[in-house]
Structure formats: C-alpha cells, structure tokens
Amino acid sequence: MKIINIVGARPNFMKMAPIIEAMNGYPEEIDHLLVHTGQHYDEKMSKAFFEDLGMPKPDIDLGVGSGSHAEQTARIMVAFEKVCLEHKPDLVIVVGDVNSTMACTITAKKLGIKVGHVEAGLRSRDMEMPEEINRLCTDVLCDYLFTTDYFADRNLRAEGVAEDKIVFVGNVMIDTLLKHRRMAAGLELLPRLGLEKGGYATLTMHRPSNVDDRDTLEEILRALKEISRQLPIVFPIHPRTRKMAESFGLDRYFNEGDQVEGIWLTEPLGYLDFMHLNMNARMVLTDSGGLQEETTVLGIPCITMRHNTERPITSEVGTNVIVGNSGQKILAAAAAVLEGKGEAGTIPEKWDGKAAQRIVAWLVAHHR
Ligand code: UD1
C-alpha cells in the first residue's frame, strides 16, 4: 500500500516520527512518502526537530508558510491536491489538530483517498479554538480513527462514529518521549544555565486566547512575574507570542539577559533540550496540548492556563490542573505546587511506547 504521511507544524513532528519508524518495519507491505506542508518553517520550529528525532527529510515540501486560517488552509489544499494526483496514494495519515491536518484530510477525501487520523476524538468543546474546528472536520471525514484514551473513544461514539472505525492504540507522542527520555536526561543544560533540578519552572504560551488580547496577556504576565520572584521561569518563546508581546509593549515583562531570572526568554528549543528542562523543572506552566500529556508521563506538575482541555485524562489520572487564565488562579495553583501540594499522577493505559507499532500493524492487517 502506498501511504502519504503528513506533517506541518511543530507538534506534528514528534507524533509522526514513531509512525515512520514503524512503517519502515514493513518494507514489503508499505511504500511511504513524507509530505511537509511548511506551515511551520523557521529552523527552530521545524528543522531542529527533524534532527533531534532522527526523522528522514520530507520527500515533498509544500512550502505554504503563514497566513490567515483561510489562506493557509487553502494553500495547503491546492498544493496537496497536486501531490495526491501525481502520487496516487492508497492512504493518507494525518496527526494532531493543526490546519495542515484538516486541510490534507479534506483534500484527500475529495479525491476518494482513505485517511487515517492519529490522535482522533479529542474534544475541548470550545469552538473558539481553531484546533477544535480542525479536530471535528478531520474526524467526521476520516476512515480510521486512532485514539489515545477512553475519553476520545467515548466522544467519537457519542458523535455516532461506527465502532469499527475507532482503534484505541495509545499515544504516539509518548512513544517519542519514552524513546528519547534517557538521552534527554543525560544532557548537561542545567549547569550551563546556572540552574538546579527543581529550582525553576518552564513556560510555554502561544494560544490566541492567551496572547492575542492585550489585557489578557498582561494579566497572565503579571501573575507569572510574581511567581518568578520565587522560582525563575524559563520561557522558550513562540514566534507568535513574541510578535504579540512586542506589539503591545509587554516585552518589558521579559528578561533576555545572561542570568536566568524573572521570566527568562530563550528562542524555541529543540525537542531534547526542552524535555531535559521539563523533566527537571519544579512545575510546567503552559497552554499547550501535548505538554499536558508529556508532564503526566514525566510526573511533573503541570498548570494549564486554559479554560478547558481536550485531554481530560491528564487531569483525571495525571499531574495536570486546568486553571484558566485569571492571574489569581494561576498564582494559587503555583503556590500549591510550591507548598508541595501538586498533583501526583499515574500513567494512562497504553501510553507505553508502542502506539505507532499498533497503528501500523492494524493498517497492515485491516486496510483494503
Ligand atoms: C499552530 C497550531 C497550534 C499548535 C502550534 C504549535 C493551527 C491552527 N495552530 O499554531 O495548534 O499548538 O502550531 O506551535 O494549526 N510563525 C513563525 N515561524 C514559524 C511558524 C509561525 O514566525 O515557523 C509565526 C507567524 O507569525 C505566524 C504565527 O507564528 O503567522 C502563527 O503560526 P501558525 O502556524 O498560523 O499557528 P501557530 O500559532 O504556530
């Protein structure tokens, strides 16, 4: 079978890496191509991950770049349609919930090509999140829905999805984490930054709901600044957040000096460096999706600065607390962790490093 695998944005790379590796185990059965849409294009948002994860270079780069949602989605669709017509795949595999995921799904389905979605069934029920729209459109069209947990299975069933399309396989992002955990642990980043294990927090923040409105962003930054008086915060800043903070004049909250203190900025980090920082942090503050899962497996308290999560398993069994974006709630959650009252957690079922193998074995056995 001829498969086209799709990546586009940073969180896609660590999900696709183990799938490609598992497909390489079936050279007789599977012929696969990797397409990068180019949604993320900065060296630090894209190429660095291919290197860290030992991923093959994309066979095809659509080079679409940034734009409004409509522009970006449309450009991906136009470019990917040509790829499908030329290469005639039997199956397209998409991961996650970014614009590239949805755009390639729609394109392939309209050409009568089957599509499998890895990380299907996640729902935040928040239609202001572009990712929720991407998830809904993708899942309703896909032929195979590979899920990470029972919440996702339940969501799909409640939407009337046929039982035989839903395949509970576990979490491919955790495949990648477990594979690289030892390597990340062995890095020596902390002494170089003058940090000690448990002596700092890490932060990621890039959601439009947190960074696109000046007052919201300032309220969050004020709370983070307060936390950073007790615990310096390492913030590998997303290009979107940097642009917004600078345009609002809020970059005065940041410290870009040589010393890690206050809210200390770095450029976006590579996969291994960032895992190293997270696994040694006292807590992680974030509005990301994947980091909620990674901290659960690493056993590090995670404070999610969002009103909802599409990954409730991480707060049900893991180390995650969902606090919204009010300064007061963020401060209270951080204080609880500092007092040793952070969430302890367990690891969800099948987050065991074998999800990609299950997906590919299932495809070889079932895809016709
Ligand atoms: C996208 C995903 C989001 C994911 C995030 C991870 C969608 C709708 N959103 O958000 O789910 O959590 O990636 O990073 O697909 N930019 C650069 N260089 C880059 C990429 C982006 O400077 O390599 C800047 C551009 O100004 C761009 C902005 O970031 O306009 C937003 O990029 P975009 O791909 O639209 O969405 P993200 O915010 O990165």
In this predicted model, what pLDDT tens digit does every residue of 164-193 receive, in sequence order?
999 999 999 999 999 999 999 999 999 999
SS3 content of the chain, % helix, strand, coil (to 5): 45, 15, 40
Average the pLDDT over 71-98 and give the result.
98
Q: Return the residue matching tokens 């007061």.
A: 328
Residue closest by Cα to atom 2 of ligand 1:
98
- Are residues 152 and 297 located together in one domain of the fold? no
201-204 vs 283-286, strand pairing mode: parallel
Residue 242 near ligand 1, beta carbon < 6 Å:
no
Rounded to the nearest angstrom, the distance between the alpha carbon of 40 and the centre of ligand 1 is 6
Is 156 inside a domain boundary? yes
Work out which ligand 1 atom sits closest to the CA atom of 72. Answer: 35
Mark whether 167 and 271 lie in a shared domain: no
CA 113 to chain centre: 26
* Ligand 1 neighbour 99 (Cβ under 6 A): yes
One domain for residues 250 and 309: yes
Mean pLDDT calculated for residue range 311-340: 96
Of 262, 260, 258, whose CA–CA distance to 277 is shortest?
260
Based on the domain organization, do 79 and 225 belong to the same domain? no
Domain annotation covers residue 16: yes
What is the model's pLDDT at position 124?
97
Q: 236 CB less than 6 Å from ligand 1? A: no
For the ranges 126-140, 142-156, 193-207, 340-354, which has the lowest average pLDDT?
340-354
Q: Is 346 helix (H, G, I), strand (E, B) or coil?
A: coil
> Residue 42 corresponds to which tokens in the numbers above?
């900065």
Q: How confident is the model at residue 238 (pLDDT cuts 50, 70, 90)?
A: very high
Residue nearest atom 14 in ligand 1 by C-alpha distance = 10
Pairing of strands 114-118, 2-7: unpaired
Same domain, 277 and 218: yes
3-state SS, residue 59: coil
Ligand 1 centroid, distance to 242 Cα (angstroms): 12
Query: Across the strands, what pairs with 99?
Result: none
Q: Do 166 and 37 belong to one domain?
A: yes
Best substitution site from 14, 44, 46, 66 to test ligand 1's pocket, by max atoms within 8 Å of Cβ?
66
Q: How far apart are CA 159 and CA 161, in angstroms?
A: 6
HEC string for 131-195: HHHHHHHHHHHCCEEEECCHHHHHHHHHCCCCHHHEEECCCHHHHHHHHHHHHHHCCCHHHHHCC
Q: What is the CATH number of the domain that holds 252?
A: 3.40.50.2000
Judge residue 251's burial from the number of C-beta atoms within 10 Å of its C-beta, 0-12 exposed, 13-18 middle, 19 or more buried.
Answer: middle
Classify residue 295: in a domain, yes or no. Answer: yes
Domain region containing 132: 2-171+351-366
Answer whether residue 309 is part of any domain. yes
Let me know if residue 130 belongs to a domain.
yes
- Taking the C-alpha atoms of residue 122 and residue 156, their distance in angstroms, rounded to an integer, is 9
> Ligand 1 pocket, 98 CB below 6 A?
yes
Could you tell me the two tokens for 89? 């795949």
- Which residue lies with its CA nearest to atom 31 of ligand 1? 240
Mutational test site, ligand 1, from 37, 40, 132, max ligand atoms within 8 Å of CB = 40
In a shared domain, residues 7 and 119: yes
Q: How many whole angstroms from its chain centre is CA 326?
A: 23
**Domain total in the chain:** 2
Q: Please check whether residue 343 lies inside any domain of the structure.
A: no
CA 110 to chain centre: 27
My answer on whether 249 and 299 are in the same domain is yes
- Tell whether 150 and 225 lie within a shared domain: no
In a domain, 344, yes or no: no
| Confidence at residue 368, expressed as pLDDT on a 0 to 100 scale | 84
Mean pLDDT, rounded, of the chain:
97
- Residue 289, in any domain of the structure: yes
The pLDDT > 90 percentage for the chain reads 98
Per-residue confidence (pLDDT) for residue 344, from 0 to 100 = 79
79: left (phi over 0), alpha (psi -120 to 50) or beta: alpha
Residue with tokens 């600044």: 225
**Co-location of 139 and 32 in the same domain:** yes
* Averaged pLDDT for residues 41-62: 95
Q: Which residues pair with 263 in a beta bridge?
A: 233, 254
Residues 190 and 332 both lie in one domain: yes
Return d(Cα 84, Cα 95) in angstroms, integer.
18
Look at residue 356 and tell me whether its pLDDT is greater than 90: yes
pLDDT at 341 over 90: no
Distance from Cα 240 to the centre of ligand 1, integer Å: 7
Task: Using CA atoms of 253, 256, 262, 263 in order, give the dihedral in degrees to the nearest 10.
Answer: 60
Is 367 catalytic? The answer is no
For residues 254 and 266, the answer to whether their CB atoms sit within 8 Å is no
Exactly one of 206, 276, 307, 366 is catalytic; name it: 206
Tokens of 177: 């984490």
Instruction: Identify whether residues 70 and 213 lie together within a single domain.
Output: no
Of 142, 49, 46, 138, nearest in space to 100 by CA: 138
Tell which residue, 324, 58, 14, 5, has the closest CA to residue 171. Answer: 14
Ligand 1 within 6 A of CB of 66 = yes
